[in-house]
Amino acid sequence: MGRRLRVFKESLKEDPEEFFAALAYSVEDPAGKGVADFIRGIAKCRETQVVGSEASFIIEELNALLVGFKEDVIYLDFLDDVLPNASFYVILSRHKASSGVKSLTVHHTGNPTASADMGGRPKELSIANPVFSYLTLRNLSELAVGKLSDFEVVYEVTHHGPTNLRKPLTFVEIGSSETEWTYEKAHEVVGESVVKALREFRYSVNCVPTVGFGGPHYAEGFTKRALRYGECYGHIISRYAIKEISGADELRYITRESVLRSKPAPTKAVIMRKIGSEPRSIITSELRSLGIPYDIID
C-alpha cells in the first residue's frame, strides 16, 4: 500500500455540487476490461496518472475517471485512498455462475452475515447508490432488447466486497462464463448503459429509493418492481442471508445498516413474505423504529 500514498488529486468539478464518478475495473478481467475499452472508444479520453493503476483516463464529458487495476475488483478496498475526489464508484466486472445463465447484473456490495469469503468484512455493508444503479438497470433492460435478447437483466442481492469504502459503490457485471465475458456485444450494451446513466444522473430522477428483504440471489421480483413502479433499490438482503444471520440483534443491526448505508436513504422497504414470520417481525419492527414504511409481498 505504500506505493499508493500519492493519490489522484485532479478534480473535474467546476461546480462543487457536480459529481465525479470513478469507473474501476481489473485489467485481468476480460469483461471489465472489455467494457472499459468500449467506453474509451465512444468517449473522448485523455490519459492521466493514478499511482497503483495499470491504466487511467479522464473522460471530461462524463465528469468521470476510468481506471484499471491489477487487483481483482472484490479487493478494491483502497479506492478511497487513491481516488479521494470521487463522488461514487462504478465497478465494471465479470459475473461467474455455475448455471451458465447469460446475464447482465447490477448490485451493491456487503456481507450481511459472519462470512466474508469474497472480500470485505463480515457483517458490513458498503454504501449503496440506488439511483445510479436503477438508471443502469433500466438502460440495460432497454438496450439489451434486440442486441442481447437471450441475456437476463437483473438485480443481484447484496454480496461480496469491498465493504469499507466511504463513497457509494455499484457493481455492473456480465455473466456467467468466459464466452459472455469476451462477447463484444455485451461490452457494448454495458458500456452504453453506464455512459447513459452517467449523463442521466446529472438530472432529477423520478424513482423511489427502496430497500429489499428476501428472495433468491437473482432478485427477479425486485427487478420487475423497479422497472414497473420506479422503485430504485439500494441494498437487497436475500432470503438465504436472512436465514444465516444468527439472532434477533444481528438481524436488527443488518436491517438498520441496510437503511443507513445508502445514499440517498430509502424512503420505503419491500419485504418478501416467504422469509418467514419471525424474521419478518424483527425486520418490520426495526423499520418502524427508523420511520420507514414497508410493503409485504408474495
pLDDT at res. 261:
99
Residue 9 has pLDDT above 60, yes or no: no
Query: Is the CA virtual torsion 156, 162, 164, 168 positive or negative?
Result: negative
Q: Cα(28)–Cα(190) distance, rounded to whole angstroms? A: 18
pTM for this entry: 0.94
pLDDT band at 12 (very low <50, low <70, confident <90, very high): very low
Place of cell 414497473: 228
Predicted confidence (pLDDT) per residue in 21-79, tens digit: 999 999 999 999 999 999 999 999 999 999 899 999 999 999 999 999 999 999 999 99
Q: What is the CATH number of domain 25-297?
A: 3.40.630.50
- For the chain, the structural domain boundaries read 25-297
pLDDT tens digits for range 171-204: 999 999 999 999 999 999 999 999 999 999 988 8
The pLDDT of residue 4: 35
Q: Are 90 and 190 in contact (CB under 8 A)?
A: no
- What percent of the chain is predicted at pLDDT more than 70? 94
Q: What is the mean pLDDT of the chain?
A: 94
Phi, psi of 160 (to 5 degrees): 55, 180
pLDDT at 95 over 60: yes
Report yes or no: 159 and 114 within 8 Å, Cβ to Cβ: no
Please check the confidence at residue 1 and state whether its pLDDT lies above 70: no
Q: Give the model confidence (pLDDT) of 103-122 as tens digits.
A: 999 999 999 999 999 999 99
